Chains A and B, each alone.
Chain A
Amino acid sequence: MSFSPYHEFNWTDCWFLLQGAGRTILLMLVAGTLATVLGVAVGWLRFASRAARILTAPAIDVLRSVPLLVLLILVSSVFGIAGFDIDVFGTAVAILTLYAAAFAAEVARAGFASVDRRTRRAARSLGMTAGQEARHVLLPLAARTVFPAWVSLMLALVKDSALVSAIGYVELLKASQVAVTQTNQPFLVFALSGLLYFAICYPCSVLSRNLEARMKHDLAA
């Protein structure tokens, strides 16, 4: 039996991939939640104030036009050169959040703008405060208009999160690459890894279609 640097793909490798998938999910949940909250806040400001629209435009334009991979490498190198001892997960979350928030802000702004001002006025005419109107009329109506766009954004985030492997965070793609170097079975490993990405995204899209149908239940059939 000749010496080989590789071993057969085994349960340990499989578990390693699953851990990577777990980290991908964690990235999606943390960065997705933060990006949504930040995006709604910034989208609201951009919707409500001309000054905020002008002031936030450069940041949004930059985040939306520079490729995520470039952002990731740029920021981690700058931190590295500056001598910061950076936490890879924290950096990955921060950049993914900012990147997705730039898109989420535009989605949110479009959602707010889609709500009929007369409907909002009717709410105020009943004695609702601006906050009550926002909570009970503006937000729910905006949310259901842009829900499909938001889901697409979150699914894109799962796939884009693969890029954080470039700064060394061992999520699903990085885990797959490592497993390949140990087993030399790229086809098997990447087939599994693709299956895992699918297993993460597909339930989300099915769930979202159901939710979307539920939210639109009131529209004439």
Chain B
Amino acid sequence: MISLRDVSKRYGLLRVLDGVSLDVERGEVVCLIGPSGSGKSTLLQCVNGLEAIDGGSIAVDGEAVHGRGTNINRLRQKLGIVFQQYNTFPHLTALENVALALRVVKRMPRRDAEAAAARQLAYVGLDGKADQYPSRLSGGQQQRVAIARALAMQPHYMLFDEVTSALDPELVGEVLQSLRKLRADGMAMLIVTHEMAFAREIGDRVAFFQEGKLVEVGPASQVLDAPRDGRTAKFLGRAAQ
């Protein structure tokens, strides 16, 4: 379980996260929606310790992410993250992108790492692209390389940060397809998205986020179709236009 308790974070005077509490169970899919600048990306990066927090605590399977004694590099292997801008390694082929951390972090022999990487590429539908460099791949393909790269570490949880918002509309579908497949395979996910239809389809629960606060959390259909909080309703009304 990913468990956030009263998490707060500031950038200077700006309160980016303000008393956020949220749980993501194993196998559960939680979608995070909210206006841009509300702190969603920051929240994801706090969950895997890429960002520090100023108050509260975040635990993954009971281990404090920001705890002093925590081996964060080991803990991060449980938490795959995929970013809006893919951030593939431009100097490595698709296969090497996926195999690198297997060799370096998990210390797998090259052959095993590459075999595992090939399986992950196949999983996201990129079997034919193993030897291509990112510059030769479309945005959707690069994003799927990034997904395969995170999955290769065999994480227990996947964090997705607006993984389709940098993509041309015709490429969105292929990336969402990989997320559907993951959901079917029981992967626990925390997904930041602005695709409301997708959130309704894939999310067990939806959390609405505004100005660093979790305004409303509940079953996807409830939050999206019958929001209890006026701010959620207002946001959904604007998003529908």
Contacts and interface: CB of A to CB of B under 8 A. Distances in A.
Contact of A144 (B87, B91, B92, B153): B91
A119 B104 contact: no
B100 A122 contact: no
Chain B interface category by residue count = 20 to 34
Given A118-B85, A121-B87, A132-B105, A127 B135 contact: no
A217 to B, nearest CB: 8
A49 interface: no
A129 interface: yes
Contacts of A118: 83, 85, 87
A211 to B, nearest CB: 14
A141 B76 contact: no
Interface string B9-25: 00000000000000000
A80 interface: no
A125 B50 contact: yes
B48 interface: yes
B73 A128 contact: yes
Interface string A115-152: 01011011111111100100011001100100000000
A126 B105 contact: yes
A218 B50 contact: no
Interface string A196-221: 00000000000000000001011110
Chain A interface category by residue count = 20 to 34
Given A119-B90, A127-B77, A218 B85 contact: no
A119 B87 contact: yes
B68 interface: no
Interface in B65-119: 73-74, 76-77, 79-81, 83, 85, 87-93, 100-101, 104-105
Interface of A: 116, 118-119, 121-129, 132, 136-137, 140-141, 144, 215, 217-220
Given A128-B105, A218-B136, A220-B135, 18 more contacts: A116-B87, A121-B83, A121-B87, A122-B83, A122-B87, A125-B48, A125-B80, A125-B81, A125-B150, A126-B105, A132-B104, A132-B105, A141-B90, A218-B90, A218-B92, A218-B135, A219-B135, A220-B136
Interface of B: 48, 50, 73-74, 76-77, 79-81, 83, 85, 87-93, 100-101, 104-105, 133-136, 146, 149-150, 153
User: What 7 pairs across the A-B complex have the smallest Cβ distances?
Assistant: A218-B133, A126-B101, A122-B87, A127-B77, A127-B76, A220-B135, A127-B105
